[in-house]
Structure 1
Amino acid sequence: MLEERETAARVRVEGLREEVARLAGVLEAAEIELDRRVIAREELVDALAASAAGTAAVTEAETAPAPASVPVPGSVVPAWREGLPVTVLAPDYQRILGVFDERLPAGQEPLKAREITAGLGLETTSAKVEGVRSKTRRLAERGWLVQEMSGAFSVGRRPVAVPDAGSSA
């Protein structure tokens, strides 16, 4: 009778292991889909912001400048220029730059997205890492950071040319 119960328990354990393996595959596929959708949304926001920037340039020439507002999550990352404070960035981007301030004394190796994610105190799941990588890439594109050939990021602010910034049409 004990052998029958042991066999039944062993069959149940094997069935549960198979279910866990199946669910792990489903979870991985869902994380990949989430990553793709996060990146697509961010790219769309960038494209719309670039389009709106062209329209806003004409409007700004006709109106008085608005007072500076507090950055909100999801706001556009401005191109870095001398004298521009970190406080113009949304809180998530400020936190990413804070990781570099804490972790990178002069001469230390650049950080990978997974290391930045851990430095932010987030889980290092692929979804979180890709979200941080996307934001860090955006900071590099705007001159706040430098993206190395290896895909790692380092501190090194540099001015970035903004398309159509000089046109006053």
Structure 2
Amino acid sequence: MPSVMGLLEERERAARQRVEVLQAELGEAEAVWERFVIARETVGQILAEPRGSAEDSSLAGAGERPVQVAAAGPGSVVPVRRDGLEADALAPGYRRIMEILQERGRSGGGAMDCRQLAVALGLEPVPAKVEGVRSKTKRLAVRGWLAEASPGMFSVVGGRGGGS
């Protein structure tokens, strides 16, 4: 029969090896995570810079034109609203929300809540769908595309319809 101390030492050794393996995996995962954090911060800084700045022209070589950026696609970041930036810069799902709220404003209606927007988008007014719409409208409001007159009530920012 093996000794109790021998069994404990064996289990301790196995646990230590497992910890070392997990620490190595954790180190790799943290390195990947740090790269994503840096990439997100860099993209955020680039999107926060006004287009057509002096930096843009200095990046292009002598006689070269700056590269035109394509319109946003599904799953892309919502840019901060600034003069000259139209709603076409938004991803299709965000553009559709803007169109609905612009139409509502033109017809004399006021702000809409996320449940009303979900229905107008053709979605079922179930919590999961409404929360998806809420996430998008909040993002548009934070970045200056929409106004949140009262909590949960959204409308297009006055005087800046975002194009169309």
1:52 and 2:53 matched: no
In structure 1, the partner of 2:59 is 63
Cα distance in structure 2, aligned partners of 1:130 and 1:78: 21
C-alpha spacing 1:46/1:116, structure 2 compared with 1 (3 Å):
farther
* Rg comparison, structure with higher value: 2
Cα distance in structure 1, aligned partners of 2:77 and 2:125: 25
In structure 2, the partner of 1:127 is 128
Cα distance in structure 2, aligned partners of 1:46 and 1:149: 33
1:80 and 2:81 matched: yes
C-alpha contact 1:111 1:152 (8 A) present in aligned 2: yes
C-alpha contact 2:94 2:136 (8 A) present in aligned 1: yes
Q: CA deviation at 1:47?
A: 9.2
Three-state SS of the structure 2 residue aligned to 1:73 is coil
Higher relative contact order (CA closer than 8 Å, sequence separation 6+): 1
Cα distance in structure 2, aligned partners of 1:133 and 1:47: 27
- The percentage of counterpart residues that share the same residue type is 40
What do you get for the CA RMSD once the two structures are aligned?
A: 3.0
Three-state SS of the structure 1 residue aligned to 2:150 is coil
Q: Which runs of 5+ in 1 are unaligned?
A: 1-44, 160-169
Three-state SS of the structure 1 residue aligned to 2:155 is strand
Three-state SS of the structure 2 residue aligned to 1:117 is helix
In structure 2, the partner of 1:11 is none
Q: Deviations 1:97-130 (Å, cap 9, x if unpaired)?
A: 0111222336532100010111111111111110
